[in-house]
Structure 1
Amino acid sequence: MSTTSTQSTPGAYDVRELIGRIAKRLNLSDRQVRGTVDLLDEGNTVPFIARYRKEGTGNLDEVQIRDVAAVAEEIRQLEDRRAMIVKTIEEQGKLTKALRAELERAETMSRLDDLYAPYKQKRRTRGQKAREAGLEPVVEAILQGGDFLGIAQRHIGEDFGTVDEVIGGAKDIIAEDIADDADVREHVRDEARKSGRLGCRRRRGGDEDPNFKLYFDFSTSFGSAKPHQVLAIRRGEKEKVLSAGLEVDADAMVRWISRRKNNVQSPAARRLVDEAIEDSFKRLIHPSTERDLRRELEEKAEEHAINVFGLNLKNLLLQPPLAGQRILGIDPGYRTGCKIAAVDETGALLGTSMIHIHDGRKANAPAIIRALVEKYEIDVIAVGNGTGSRETEQAAAEAIRDMERSGSVAGSVHYAMVNEAGASIYSASDVAREEFPDLDVSVRGAVSIGRRLQDPLAELVKIDPKSIGVGMYQHDVNQTRLMESLDAVVEDVVNGVGVDVNSASEQLLARVAGIGPTLAARVIRHRGKVGQIGSRKELEKVRGLGAKTFEQCAGFLRIRDGSEPLDRTGIHPENYDLARAILKQAGGSSEQLGDPAVARGLERLRTSGELSALAERHNVGKYTLNDIVDGLLRPGRDPRDDFDRPQLRSDVLSMDDLEEGMQLVGTVRNVVDFGAFVDIGVKQDGLVHVSEMAQRYVKNPHAVLSVGDQVKVVVVSVDQDRGRIALSIKQAK
């Protein structure tokens, strides 16, 4: 996590003013912002600040802390831009007191750029050409009501050979001056925001792509444009299917500009200025406004899409693990067959195999699956949801039915569909090659699918988050910003769950606050030398893991059966003395963590308020005190236990089996602006439109559903030809 330094902010804004601006922008107190900025400047990571420095931030969470950092950086960039503009205009000898005051008052980048527009170096324009030809006296004559025709006659030259051409050049100068007027630009932009529309049509000669059919004749106000609409239109334009633009009342805007800028008394000259204004609007102002507002819309849409992806990714990473289960992972495929990998309770590879589901060998598939289940004592079959998943699912279900009929497994084996997005990325990665150098790429994918069901977080951290398909137009947004956001999500989830230092992969350890890839590799090497790391304190022996790094990471690392019982909790070592004192006051010790009698004593102390004096003696605030007591009451707690477990099945449905009104239980796979996609056990996920989510009006689908939720749904309609299933939650009983 990069820190945010107030020291880089231009001197015109001292630290106190910076803090105040951030606080106002985010609706936080100055104390919260100041504490957060100071902690970031000291080199602390976001997870550490959010978990172990709550008193310093007033209990801000990770998202709020990152918002403080982002706004501080935004203000810094604004001030850098302001300083550059002031310096540039000053060097031109054109910085008046009034202009300096305007620049100092500007609160947004767009206002700064509007003020800078007349002084900014431009490509050679029509107006510049006219100025170079010395036509400014003609402009002055038009605006002042002088003999502009006579003056124009005297300025006929090589570039402007007639009076009409000279007058045309003068109008070009007027048009550019009006287009560079900061107040005009700001007014037009504001009016377009309020009353403008985003219009879209099928591009002449463009394909009749059904994916964009909705936008072949589309118009919506700028204020009402939905993020997914904005991104869909932009994609359609890139693919040369759609043509879109800003629709405004041009006549009304031209009249407003004329009232403000055309004070000429002479009717003939006034007409020339109005013509210049109309040209300025159509040729310069409107295109510029359209670019600005489209960019504004698209940036908001991108940020929204990134947030949606992040929220869905977070809920996917928080899916509970199937601890202690042996998994048979199957990576479906037609031409090259379905690759199979069996993994034990720890994720270690037991064996591999293959089945075919599209030719004469299809009939053998259930028997092969059954033999593998029995050989490796498999608990759950994990089937990837890619191409061929429907047929693979049928083979798995048939194998389970055969075993149940024979009584060999007594109904204990089930299967689950697993989102395999990114499995192929992992299979060809350096990480996969290091883990399984002798395995075929596709077999590595089967291992990944099995492990995803076993422990989603531990496996998914090995994959580029962008490759995990829970986003909306993720390939159309700023990839750097997307990566930063998703990395932050992974970092927050990993540290929120905690990492077992003796079983974690290098990739998982690298996500722990303060560690990173280099130190993670050193921790793994140290673990290999000593066998088991016995305590958090022992980590200080790892080369490069100094006091600051230990401070940042120690609380997020768990040691289950070490020499210090508190090491399996989320309590930071800096607070062990207080934790032991609390346990002693509750009638126990750290060796008795989890004992019901000690837990009752802790609850009594918490409700009685007796711990306040103890916390004060240890210089610990109420937030940290509550976290310590929580850690003592629930040692080793996994926050993922609060989420719905994967849905396990033993039989299979097809779209042919679906009927309107049928009620089913499904798992939410993706949540987007217009609804949620739900896996109901058939090849195609069904869509619960936002209007079918609840009896009440739902503005934000994420307020109702999350990835991984198990929900009751009713089948509303089935479109076999288009492969679409409409579902309803509000109609379910």
Structure 2
Amino acid sequence: MDITAKLAEELQIRKKQAEAAVKLIDEGNTIPFIARYRKEATGALNDEVLRSLAERLTYLRNLEEKKEQVLSSIEEQGKLTAELKTQILAAETMVVVDDLYRPYRPKRRTRAIIAREKGLQPLADLIWLQMSKTPLAAEAEKYIDPEKEVNTAEDAIAGAKDILAEQISDEAAYRIRIREMTVKEGKIVSSAKDKEAESVYEMYYEFEEGIAKLAGHRILALNRGENEKILTVKVQAPEDRILSYLERKVIKRDNPVTSGVLKEVIADSYSRLIAPAIEREIRSSLTERAEDGAIRVFGKNLEQLLMQPPIANQVVLGWDPAFRTGCKLAVVDETGKVLDTTVIYPTAPQNKVAEAKAVLKKLIAKYRITLISLGNGTASRESEQIIVELLKEIPQKVQYIIVNEAGASVYSASKLATEEFPNFDVGQRSAASMARRLQDPLAELVKIDPKSIGVGQYQHDMNQKKLSEALQGVVEGCVNKVGVDLNTASVSLLSYISGVSKVIAKNIVAYREENGRFAARSELLKVAKLGPKAYEQCAGFLRIADGKNPLDATGVHPESYEAAKKLLEKLGFSTEDVKNRKLSGIGKKISDYPKLAEELGVGELTLKDIVKELEKPARDPREDMPKPILRSDVLEIKDLKPGMILKGTVRNVIDFGAFVDIGVHQDGLVHISQICDRYIKHPLEAVSVGDIVDVQVMSVDVKKQRIQLTMKFQK
């Protein structure tokens, strides 16, 4: 197989682009580095396409390796024909290679193998040829041998039938066709083990849907219901059509001696050997497809969450709400440094509201707090009531925001949090995290396992390795898009930078602590284990504010410094003008990009990137994202009435809709059919995590805590 041609076809890119990307990946370059600094080579393929290419490249190479192993195994058996070799080499999936290899794969002792050991292969061959006129029982009597446990003619016929059933089951062409028929015409059927039991799977108690139409979230829900022993799930195949197909293929002539037996063999082969295997394959394939879809959605949601704009220049009070153990508070300054921590008990069972308010007023006055970041967990509603009352009693202008607590408890109990805050308990760490994830969501959320961030669906039911790899890729992409300050970044943040391993990240921080601030990017080469290759991969993403070279504060890669300096000279500027941000609009002074790029010895795309960086040094791409909604009043679910129009933040996007935070602690669901007037296949076509949207309340179920919203209304 020409792998690069296959990749180009699948990803709808040019073969040259695929070849360049494969070469760069094989040379050990990271995806963020290739996407950002090797645009000329790849024709500006973005990181999403490059990740898909890398994933498919691994699969296709494994497929080629599998083909070689299979061909070698069949050849060793002396059974490799030219036709079979061609079929194996042309196979495009592992499943087809497995189908072709099945007859030659070493088997455990099957009923067919035992029958062959009893010497019944010739009788099976006789039936298969369909030529005999002698009654089968008479032929079978020749094979009676009590020593081999063939005591009667019936025993001999049964053994021959077992051989033929396996023979039919091993035929690759039959399996491929039956799988196609089952996928195209079959259904997934589910039923409840106990129809009276209440559960979240009630819609699947009597459910059936065509395999070809089944949506990913339904597949994952059925799998979970089955694993929890609530549902029985089956593949319902078009059995009559399949048996009819097999009979046409196997029964070549109408012979009264063999036709009836062959029909029995076909039915047995299908029900005992083919159907269970194909059911497993189809269920596995559906699950894989559903997981891939869910991982894609999770990745998109995670990217949007990580790219939320930071709320800069505010002193924030992080509030981790609780009942019995009290509400933990942490005051964090504009740089993320924790200034103070304490515990208050305004909620049940203590209800020390006056005392709590007094503490809060002192903290707000002392540290000039302007924003309260309240976690949305237990006792959040009660805490919010107190915050709103307090804001009305104080002269200072303070706002509050409810932040998603997902992952805070995982972080607070982690080794990382213990190292960061050795003298804090888990509650204090959690409160500090509440504040910091508002100040810089990316820097704080990278400390948490992406699976625990709360923007996925069925994440615990998926292939964990695949999910982790995909989400790590998303985090890596976001961190490198934004870039990090080399002199302030944590180990967690640094370890996501292109070319920087956890060990190197720790070494960077250790070097910083020992030698003080980095004055230049080139100093990175003094860090233990950070060699020239790692430097090439990471340098452009690590920024130094107020360093020796103003270009170190930009996304211009050191390999392009010479070109950047020449460009500045040509346009009548110096690197000092980069520092003083005096280069806005310099792109308009360039009339011929291709000619200038050639003159400077760089590619045209690289030149355009250099210009963009010089115009807005270290520009944060998160600036373009919608800002979070800050609140100063409270709304409860019982206050909601159908027809109310509210502003909300999209918290999670799933296959069948989007959950929107409208400030009542219970996110409302906008079903996919209520997102927009045009037809969309997936909610992500219209909304993303973090979007600020206008919604109208359709219905409210206070008892079940369910809110139905719509975005389709006259604004």
Q: TM-score, normalised by structure 1?
A: 0.94
Name the structure 1 match of 2:607: 625
CA distance in 2, matches of 1:93, 1:596: 74
The aligned amino acid for 1:697 is Y
Match of 1:194 among 184, 205, 212: 184
Deviation at 1:516, TM superposition (A): 1.6
Name the structure 2 match of 1:605: 589
Aligned in 2, Cα 1:324/1:732: closer, same or farther, shift over 3 Å?
farther
The yes-or-no answer on 1:554 pairing with 2:539 is yes
Match of 1:176 among 166, 176, 186: 166
Aligned in 2, Cα 1:516/1:114: closer, same or farther, shift over 3 Å?
same
The yes-or-no answer on 1:659 pairing with 2:647 is no
In the TM superposition, what whole-angstrom CA distance separates every residue of 1:445-483 from its partner, at most 9, and x where no partner exists?
A: 111111101110111111111111100100000000111
Q: 1:130–1:173: 8 Å Cα contact kept in structure 2?
A: yes
In the TM superposition, what whole-angstrom CA distance separates every residue of 1:251-294 from its partner, at most 9, and x where no partner exists?
A: 11100110011114312310110111111111111111111111
Name the structure 2 match of 1:4: none
CA distance in 2, matches of 1:143, 1:49: 59
Name the structure 1 match of 2:373: 382
Q: 1:687–1:725: 8 Å Cα contact kept in structure 2?
A: yes
Name the structure 1 match of 2:520: 535
Taking the TM superposition and a 5 Å limit, the aligned residue runs for 1:228-243 are: 228-243=217-232
Name the structure 2 match of 1:568: 553
CA distance in 1, matches of 2:445, 2:519: 27
Name the structure 1 match of 2:434: 449
Question: 2:419 aligns to what SS in structure 1?
Answer: helix
CA distance in 2, matches of 1:98, 1:563: 68
Question: 2:470 aligns to what SS in structure 1?
Answer: helix
Q: TM-score, normalised by structure 2?
A: 0.96
Name the structure 2 match of 1:268: 257
CA distance in 2, matches of 1:83, 1:599: 58
The aligned amino acid for 1:723 is Q
In the TM superposition, what whole-angstrom CA distance separates every residue of 1:417-471 from its partner, at most 9, and x where no partner exists?
A: 1111111111111111111111111211111111101110111111111111100
Name the structure 1 match of 2:143: 155
Deviation at 1:367, TM superposition (A): 3.7
The yes-or-no answer on 1:221 pairing with 2:210 is yes
Deviation at 1:597, TM superposition (A): 6.4
Deviation at 1:27, TM superposition (A): 1.9
Name the structure 2 match of 1:688: 670
Name the structure 1 match of 2:570: 585
In the TM superposition, what whole-angstrom CA distance separates every residue of 1:474-504 from its partner, at most 9, and x where no partner exists?
A: 0000000111111111111000001011111
Name the structure 2 match of 1:8: none
Name the structure 2 match of 1:482: 467
Q: 1:674–1:701: 8 Å Cα contact kept in structure 2?
A: yes
The aligned amino acid for 2:262 is V
The yes-or-no answer on 1:87 pairing with 2:76 is no
Name the structure 2 match of 1:498: 483
Name the structure 1 match of 2:511: 526
The yes-or-no answer on 1:126 pairing with 2:111 is yes
CA distance in 2, matches of 1:341, 1:500: 24
Name the structure 2 match of 1:57: 42
Name the structure 2 match of 1:258: 247
Deviation at 1:209, TM superposition (A): 4.0
Question: 1:382 aligns to what SS in structure 2?
Answer: strand
Name the structure 2 match of 1:721: 703
CA distance in 2, matches of 1:290, 1:568: 57
Deviates more, 1:140-149 or 1:254-263: 140-149
The yes-or-no answer on 1:165 pairing with 2:165 is no
Aligned in 2, Cα 1:470/1:207: closer, same or farther, shift over 3 Å?
farther
Name the structure 1 match of 2:617: 635
CA distance in 1, matches of 2:339, 2:8: 56
Name the structure 2 match of 1:142: 127
CA distance in 1, matches of 2:56, 2:420: 41
CA distance in 2, matches of 1:522, 1:181: 58
The aligned amino acid for 1:153 is E
Match of 1:46 among 31, 51, 54: 31
Name the structure 2 match of 1:334: 323
Aligned in 2, Cα 1:186/1:720: closer, same or farther, shift over 3 Å?
same
Deviates more, 1:343-352 or 1:579-588: 579-588
Name the structure 2 match of 1:9: none
CA RMSD for the aligned pairs? 1.6
Deviation at 1:149, TM superposition (A): 2.0
Question: 2:447 aligns to what SS in structure 1?
Answer: coil
Deviation at 1:546, TM superposition (A): 2.1
In the TM superposition, what whole-angstrom CA distance separates every residue of 1:169-219 from its partner, at most 9, and x where no partner exists?
A: 22221111111111110000011111111111112x477242101111111
Taking the TM superposition and a 5 Å limit, the aligned residue runs for 1:306-321 are: 306-321=295-310
Q: 1:369–1:396: 8 Å Cα contact kept in structure 2?
A: no
Q: 1:331–1:338: 8 Å Cα contact kept in structure 2?
A: yes
CA distance in 1, matches of 2:352, 2:571: 64
Deviation at 1:128, TM superposition (A): 1.9
Name the structure 2 match of 1:393: 384
Deviation at 1:121, TM superposition (A): 2.0
Taking the TM superposition and a 5 Å limit, the aligned residue runs for 1:290-369 are: 290-356=279-345, 357-364=347-354, 365-369=356-360
Question: 2:200 aligns to what SS in structure 1?
Answer: helix
Name the structure 1 match of 2:497: 512
CA distance in 1, matches of 2:172, 2:71: 16
Deviation at 1:594, TM superposition (A): 7.4
Name the % identity: 47
CA distance in 2, matches of 1:599, 1:415: 36
Deviation at 1:224, TM superposition (A): 0.9
Name the structure 2 match of 1:6: none
Name the structure 2 match of 1:459: 444
CA distance in 2, matches of 1:634, 1:209: 58
The aligned amino acid for 1:223 is A
The yes-or-no answer on 1:72 pairing with 2:57 is yes
Name the structure 1 match of 2:660: 678
Name the structure 2 match of 1:371: 362
Q: 1:714–1:732: 8 Å Cα contact kept in structure 2?
A: no
In the TM superposition, what whole-angstrom CA distance separates every residue of 1:124-152 from its partner, at most 9, and x where no partner exists?
A: 22222222211122212223332332221
The aligned amino acid for 2:297 is V
The aligned amino acid for 1:689 is H
In the TM superposition, what whole-angstrom CA distance separates every residue of 1:386-420 from its partner, at most 9, and x where no partner exists?
A: 122111111111111211xxxx21xx210001111
Deviation at 1:46, TM superposition (A): 1.1
Question: 1:442 aligns to what SS in structure 2?
Answer: helix
Deviation at 1:333, TM superposition (A): 1.3
The aligned amino acid for 2:106 is Q
Deviation at 1:18, TM superposition (A): 2.6
Q: 1:370–1:400: 8 Å Cα contact kept in structure 2?
A: no
The aligned amino acid for 2:205 is F
CA distance in 2, matches of 1:37, 1:727: 46
CA distance in 2, matches of 1:354, 1:402: 21
Deviation at 1:156, TM superposition (A): 2.3
CA distance in 2, matches of 1:591, 1:200: 69
CA distance in 2, matches of 1:428, 1:362: 28
Deviation at 1:595, TM superposition (A): 6.5
Which 5+ residue runs of structure 2 have no aligned equivalent?
A: none
Q: 1:206–1:241: 8 Å Cα contact kept in structure 2?
A: no
The aligned amino acid for 1:226 is A
Q: 1:587–1:598: 8 Å Cα contact kept in structure 2?
A: no
Deviation at 1:107, TM superposition (A): 2.4
The aligned amino acid for 1:176 is E
CA distance in 2, matches of 1:285, 1:209: 36
CA distance in 2, matches of 1:492, 1:225: 32
CA distance in 1, matches of 2:183, 2:238: 12
Which 5+ residue runs of structure 1 have no aligned equivalent?
A: 1-12
The aligned amino acid for 1:151 is E
